[in-house]
Structure 1
């Protein structure tokens, strides 16, 4: 029997202090509320990029100084990384505390959001080459993502309220 087969058949429980288990449940919601705020900021930056593209003359020169395209790209990269890690972290903490995941609308929408942000980010090389289809798809995906994210915030608060009521 290989070592991996032995570990799979005889898993060793991970002992996590109870205080860590309790407080870890609030990291995911706090991170996600922060990411929702950053998503709204990224939307603002994206709108500024559109304004810059449409502007002319001195107005365009002034908007270019804001470097909205660079800031939007950087913010998108941060959002992608933290959303993926936050989604995984939320599932890990739920599993550690409950021994299972609760397959419901919050989990499924969260997984969908993770996929949407990955696809949206994957359009960057096409947008950098001036492909309008990629820009419009990116915008549509992110508007949908922001809508789902807002809904997730509401259902997440409901979950946190249930956790607190059981404490």
Structure 2
């Protein structure tokens, strides 16, 4: 049995990955804001800390981070799947390699959370370092992804 994907689905599926990744880039910036607020809460004096804790920055940061982890992994797999379906191969290059590295970095960052909850400062600083690096790479990926998307559109 040979299952053939309709041409219209193959064509329009190429836009799902870029759209999702742009949404995740914005969500990553929001997660950074929340992370800064969590850090600010942790280092504030008692009166300010009490006020900031009521805003739930830590819970929102954790929830947004969980959504980012899940959607980034699924988006990476989806982008590779759509590329393979449409071209019969993956294009081995910087965009693919950096995307896979980013997926590993976000998974590692999330894996540090239990250690951070126990007060491990090394885990906390590693988490911050990985996520700032991830955001920088995400910006670069957005630019290279748009170049790839322009090549796809020009062939339509």
Say whether the fold is shared (TM-score over 0.5): yes
Match of 2:126 among 119, 130, 137: 137
Structure number, greater radius of gyration: 1
CA deviation profile, 1:31-87 (whole Å, cap 9, x unmatched): 000000000000000000011011113211111111111111111110000000000
Aligned residues: 156
The answer for the alignment partner of 1:24 in structure 2 is 13
Whether 2:48 is the aligned partner of 1:71: answer no
The answer for the alignment partner of 2:90 in structure 1 is 101
Distance in 2 of aligned mates of 1:81 and 1:51: 26
List 4+ stretches of structure 1 deviating above 2 A. none
The answer for the alignment partner of 1:124 in structure 2 is 113
Aligned to 1:103, what secondary structure does the other structure show? Answer: coil
CA deviation profile, 1:80-119 (whole Å, cap 9, x unmatched): 0000000000000000000000000000000000000000
CA deviation profile, 1:140-163 (whole Å, cap 9, x unmatched): 000110011100000000000000
RMSD after superposition: 0.8
Displacement of 1:14: 2.7
Aligned to 1:37, what secondary structure does the other structure show? Answer: helix
| Correspondence list, 1:7-46, <5 A | 12-46=1-35
